[in-house]
Amino acid sequence: MLEKKSIQKNIPFVLPVAVMAPPPSLQDNTADLDRLRRAITANLPDERPLDIPLRRVVPLCRRFRHSRFTGVALVNDLPDRWVLADFLSQCPQILPAMALDLGTTGLEATLIDLLTGQTMATATRENNQIEYGADILSRIHQATSIRRQMHTVAPDFTDPGLTTLQQSIVFCINELAATLAAAGGMDVEDICALSVSGNTAMTHLFLGLDPFYIIREPYIPLANWIEPLEAWEIGITIHPAAPVWIMPSIGSYFGGDLISGILATGLSTNPQTRMLIDVGTNAEVVIGNQDWLIACAGAAGPALEGGVTRMGMRAAPGAIEFVTIDPVSYAMEVRTIDDAPACGLCGSGIIDLVASLYLARVIDIRGKFQHCRPDEISDNPARTAFLHKHVVLRNGVWAFVVIPSTGAKSNDEVLLEQVDLDALLRSKAASYAVLATLINQVGINFSDLAEICVAGAFGNHINPRSAITIGMLPDLALSVYRAIGNSSLQGAEQVLLARSARQSCLDIVNKITYIELNVNHEFMIRFSGARFIPHTDPTLFPSVPLFIEHKDS
């Protein structure tokens, strides 16, 4: 039980409140509910109203009587009021809550004890919605398949596709909650709170909000902020009265996952100007300090996410996450996650590979493969042998063999095809253009940044040196870069533990200036220049060797 007053800022999402009431008598005929309410409000840390939903009046008053008018109330701390969630006969030993990063491709969650702040379990799983579309665009089409054929729809109309997608993600979350509960040795209904951090479209699909206008100019979400719900309202099978915090978003392309990242990095509370980058399907960037925040997002293309490029995959066992090629000996080193047999390339692996291919002059500044003509004799026999072995024709197009087939089964080679390479270059061009456009809007230089936090599922693994080499990140000292891992999940954890964090989310939304890049002319110009390796203007990347001579492929 926490001391009154001192906890104002650190009130968890669900607060245990000691209840001690005198039993009723002829001299004190206060109704059970009023008796319970009085005993709770006497120990609440502030005077905001206490809601007691009708459906909980009978069971909780009965427990209150059974435990002789003494026990512990679990009270949800909502932005403008308290809500009674449960009544226990004694103080629980743990108060588990679930933080969730609701990714387009995968879900990652942690179980946190609200009494101590300790992490009790972690778990990940695929987003089952992939079955209905690998990317957000195709899922939104799926969720609006009837809607799109009609001029108008009735106010109460719900697209069956939206229902399907919502049920799919709710199923995933319930499974993940069950996994966490099992790992923590408790019932899933013991989980007393949930926080969800996802992009705007995923949040819409999770809540059953019509996403129709998200992808249509002028790109308007149905809702950026939904008040905390209770788990039962959306079919989440943790404690029915568990409050569900959904991270607010700012626009169709700037979602709650980024607000979570800003919260986790402390971007909005630090006096130094810093940058947060999250490169996934979109490149989302925020610059700011305690005084201001400016953000933008641009479609980075799907190159860095699994399921789109043929060999791309999530950062899972067997994914190649690290590649080097010695530019003289042409010795190649490859490392996979968990050292499992290679079966694809994750984001950091692709960036490493393309940087190495460029530095070894296997690709040129346009990203086209160099190869040996049959009659060609190189100065470097190692290079000749390497090109002969690794740069091959597949269906009339040149490709790079990362891992040759073992022969055990057909099609098990890991290949980087020209189409994958082109996708990556578009993606990195978009990322750099987003950064440069934003820096220009703010009127500072990259060198003014005290820190650049690189977030996202591959933020832990990305090699900033490789990202600089391909012109994806600006050419700054490597010490400026900090890989922060899954900041979307970290922010979700913070809102479970402290009212100040929950309030910060809403403050960030109000404070941020958002620039829509999908319609920004400057961005489109910068994007074109950034499609080369490292850039059409090499003075922007002084640390990257320049190879201007190249052969046509």
User: By the criterion CB under 8 A, which residues form the site for its own copies?
Assistant: 24-26, 28-34, 49, 51-52, 54-55, 57-63, 66, 79-81, 152-153, 155-158, 207-210, 213, 217-227, 229, 233-234, 249, 251-252, 514, 516, 519
Q: Which is nearer to its own copies, 234 or 497 (CB)?
A: 234
Question: By C-alpha distance, which of 63, 7, 16 is closest to 35?
Answer: 63
Q: Which is nearer to its own copies, 70 or 380 (CB)?
A: 70
Distance between CA atoms of residues 474 and 469, nearest Å: 9
Instruction: Tell me how far, at minimum, the Cβ of 200 lies from its own copies, in Å.
Output: 9
Distance between CA atoms of residues 17 and 52, nearest Å: 14
User: Which phi and psi angles does 440 have, rounded to 5°?
Assistant: -65, -40
Count of other CB atoms within 10 angstroms of residue 450: 12
Q: Which is nearer to its own copies, 180 or 509 (CB)?
A: 509
Query: Which three-class secondary structure state does DSSP give residue 307?
Result: coil
Distance between CA atoms of residues 186 and 375, nearest Å: 69
Q: Which is nearer to its own copies, 516 or 522 (CB)?
A: 516
Q: Which is nearer to its own copies, 120 or 247 (CB)?
A: 247
Give the CA diameter of the chain: 108
Instruction: Tell me how far, at minimum, the Cβ of 189 lies from its own copies, in Å.
Output: 12
Q: Which is nearer to its own copies, 7 or 153 (CB)?
A: 153
Q: Looking at 199-286, list the stretches that DSSP marks H as alpha helix, in order from N- to C-terminal side.
A: 200-207, 256-265
Instruction: Tell me how far, at minimum, the Cβ of 8 lies from its own copies, in Å.
Output: 19
Q: Could you tell me the two tokens for 493?
A: 């954890």
Question: By C-alpha distance, which of 232, 218, 212 is closest to 157?
Answer: 212
Instruction: Tell me how far, at minimum, the Cβ of 491 lies from its own copies, in Å.
Output: 20
Distance between CA atoms of residues 238 and 191, nearest Å: 5
Question: By C-alpha distance, which of 286, 297, 301, 276 is closest to 531?
Answer: 301
Q: Could you tell me the two tokens for 511?
A: 């404070």
Distance between CA atoms of residues 293 and 515, nearest Å: 11
Q: Could you tell me the two tokens for 544?
A: 């990257």
Instruction: Tell me how far, at minimum, the Cβ of 59 lies from its own copies, in Å.
Output: 4
In the numeric block, the tokens 């997608």 are attached to: 165
Q: Could you tell me the two tokens for 238?
A: 């943790």
Rounded alpha-carbon distances, angstroms, from residue 166 to 128, 140, 158, 208, 420: 10, 11, 11, 6, 31
Query: Which three-class secondary structure state does DSSP give residue 225?
Result: coil
Instruction: Tell me how far, at minimum, the Cβ of 314 lies from its own copies, in Å.
Output: 30
Instruction: Tell me how far, at minimum, the Cβ of 153 lies from its own copies, in Å.
Output: 7
Q: Which is nearer to its own copies, 156 or 338 (CB)?
A: 156
Distance between CA atoms of residues 318 and 166, nearest Å: 31
Q: Which is nearer to its own copies, 208 or 306 (CB)?
A: 208
Contact between residue 345 and residue 303 where contact means Cβ atoms under 8 Å apart:
no
Distance between CA atoms of residues 526 and 286, nearest Å: 18
Instruction: Tell me how far, at minimum, the Cβ of 359 lies from its own copies, in Å.
Output: 41
Instruction: Tell me how far, at minimum, the Cβ of 522 lies from its own copies, in Å.
Output: 15
Rounded alpha-carbon distances, angstroms, from residue 546 to 216, 346, 532, 539: 41, 26, 11, 10
Q: Which is nearer to its own copies, 412 or 516 (CB)?
A: 516
448-451-453 Cα angle (round to 5): 135
Q: Which is nearer to its own copies, 9 or 81 (CB)?
A: 81
Question: By C-alpha distance, which of 74, 69, 103 is closest to 257?
Answer: 103
Q: How far is Cα of residue 246 from the mean position of the Cα atoms in its chain? A: 13
Q: Which is nearer to its own copies, 446 or 514 (CB)?
A: 514
DSSP letter at 89?
Answer: S
Instruction: Tell me how far, at minimum, the Cβ of 53 lies from its own copies, in Å.
Output: 8
Q: Which is nearer to its own copies, 252 or 268 (CB)?
A: 252
User: Residue 311: is it exposed, middle or buried by C-beta count within 10 angstroms (0-12/13-18/19+)?
Assistant: buried
Instruction: Tell me how far, at minimum, the Cβ of 132 lies from its own copies, in Å.
Output: 20
Q: Which is nearer to its own copies, 155 or 396 (CB)?
A: 155
Q: Could you tell me the two tokens for 109?
A: 């969650």
Instruction: Tell me how far, at minimum, the Cβ of 95 lies from its own copies, in Å.
Output: 19
Instruction: Tell me how far, at minimum, the Cβ of 30 lies from its own copies, in Å.
Output: 8
